Amino acid sequence: MAMRLTPTRRTIQSYEAQHEIYLHEWNARQYKVPLHLHNLIARVPKAGLILDVGCGPGQDTRYLRRQGFHVCGADLTWSFLQAAKARAPRLPVVQADMRRLPFPLQTFDGIWAAASIIHLPKVQARTLLRKLFKLTKPGGWLALTVMYGREVGVPRQQWIAGRYLAKWFKRELRHAVQTAAWDVCSIERVTHQERKGAWINVLATRSGREKNCLVVRQVSGRDGGVRRTRS
């Protein structure tokens, strides 16, 4: 009897089966630091500890370490962790399901989750947001990026076939993050930044002190530059 795969099993199997395509694409591209990552970097104390949730082959994890942070990458796809280790043998990465992260409460100063929570059904993503809150120190920060839109499920056509994807609208995402007890500092839709298509960037804190903050964002001025603006 054919067994139905859970969204996570299906996604990780797809990444494992097609890891060469994924890694080839990423190795061919020049690494661009995600603009939103600067929002986290600007807030976490130097030498603070940052968890990269769904770190993939670890590009952002490595960048954060180069900036002087202590880091840990967590991902379930073994081939990506091997690729991360091949590039940087001493990079701290663990194979872990983001829904069951093996860390004590209040461990991290910052959490970075780029394009990873998109692989969870929304009910699981909501639970994860609460768990991430508990793993973060009081005063700590969360920066996450998810796909913008309505679709939920396994798209017929996608770059890495077979992955489960859940897209979000701003309002429901804000509600999910706030319900998990985070204070949302900024939430915005961006298009064609480091990734094709429309995405949402959220910056949130485990303390209510900074509710309305300066964030780095792309502006479509004549020079197409980057500015710090208040949300």
Under the binding rule (CB under 6 A), the answer on residue 25 touching ligand SAM is no
Which amino acid is it at 160?
I
Distance CA 57, CA 4 (A): 28
Q: Minimum distance from CB of 91 to ligand SAM (Å)?
A: 14
CA distance 73 to 54: 7
Find all residues with CB under 8 Å of 13, minimum gap 6, and list them.
5, 162
Q: What phi and psi, each to the nearest 5 degrees, are found at residue 53?
A: -85, 120
- 40, 55, 146, 215: residue in contact with ligand SAM (rule CB under 6 A): 55
Q: How far is the CB of 33 from ligand SAM (least distance, A)?
A: 11
Least Å from the CB of residue 55 to ligand SAM: 6
Distance of CA 221 to the CA centre of its chain: 27
Q: What is the largest CA-CA distance in the chain?
A: 60
Task: Candidates 10-18, 147-155, 181-189, 215-223: pick the segment binding ligand SAM (CB under 6 A).
Answer: 10-18
Of all residues in this chain, which one has the CB nearest to ligand SAM in the complex?
56
State which of residues 36, 39, 56, 203 lies at the interface with ligand SAM (CB under 6 A): 56
User: Binding marks (x or -) toward ligand SAM, 102..131, rule CB under 6 A?
Assistant: ------------xxx--x------------
Stretch that binds ligand SAM, among 38-46, 53-61, 102-110, 215-223 (CB under 6 A): 53-61
Q: What x-and-dash track marks residues 130-149 binding ligand SAM by CB under 6 A?
A: --------------------
Token pair 């409460």 in the structure block, residue: 105
**Count of chain residues binding ligand SAM (CB under 6 A):** 20
User: CA separation (Å) from 113 to 21, 24, 74?
Assistant: 22, 22, 10
Residue 211: CB minimum distance to ligand SAM, A = 27
| Nearest distance in Å: CB 231, ligand SAM | 22
**Cβ-based nearer residue to ligand SAM, 94 or 214:** 94
Beta strand residue intervals within the chain, DSSP E: 49-53, 70-75, 93-95, 108-114, 136-147, 152-153, 165-166, 183-191, 198-205, 214-218, 226-230
Distance CA 144, CA 148 (A): 12
Binding residues for ligand SAM (CB under 6 A): 8, 11-12, 15, 54-56, 59-60, 75-77, 80, 97-99, 114-116, 119
